[in-house]
Amino acid sequence: MNIVMWILAGGMLGWVGYAFLGFNRAQGMLVSMTIGAVGGLLGGNTIAPLFSAAPTVAGDFSSSALVFAAGAAAALLVAGNLANDRWHV
């Protein structure tokens, strides 16, 4: 369940970044949502266990992991936007 929440949170941040902030305008909405989803998965699966305690029951919802997933998704969206602006990748 956590993995789905991380991907959805990252995808929603990608959509918000595209629709309201103008991130990755040249590449499109689908690319922004994909970058956000990958960032959410990376943050929730790799970064969150390094900095927060595991949930009591394995597979249980972890709000701290969701925060790390959203932060990683936002960071990847910013990095993608900067790379697009600088190198037109």
Give the global pTM.
Answer: 0.91
The per-residue pLDDT for 26 is 85
pLDDT, residue 15, reads 95
CA distance linking residue 53 with residue 43, whole number of Å: 14
**Spans of all domains in the chain:** 2-52+59-87
Task: State residue 59's pLDDT score.
Answer: 73
* Rounded Cα distance, 85 and 37, in Å: 21
Sequence-distant contacts of 50-53: CB under 8 A, at least 24 apart: none
How far apart are alpha carbons 77 and 13 in whole angstroms? 8
For residue 27, the model assigns a pLDDT of 86
Residue by residue, pLDDT tens for the chain (89 residues) are 889 999 999 999 999 999 998 888 888 999 999 999 999 999 999 999 899 877 767 778 888 999 999 999 999 999 999 998 899 87
3-state helix, strand and coil shares in percent for the chain, rounded to the nearest 5 = 75, 0, 25
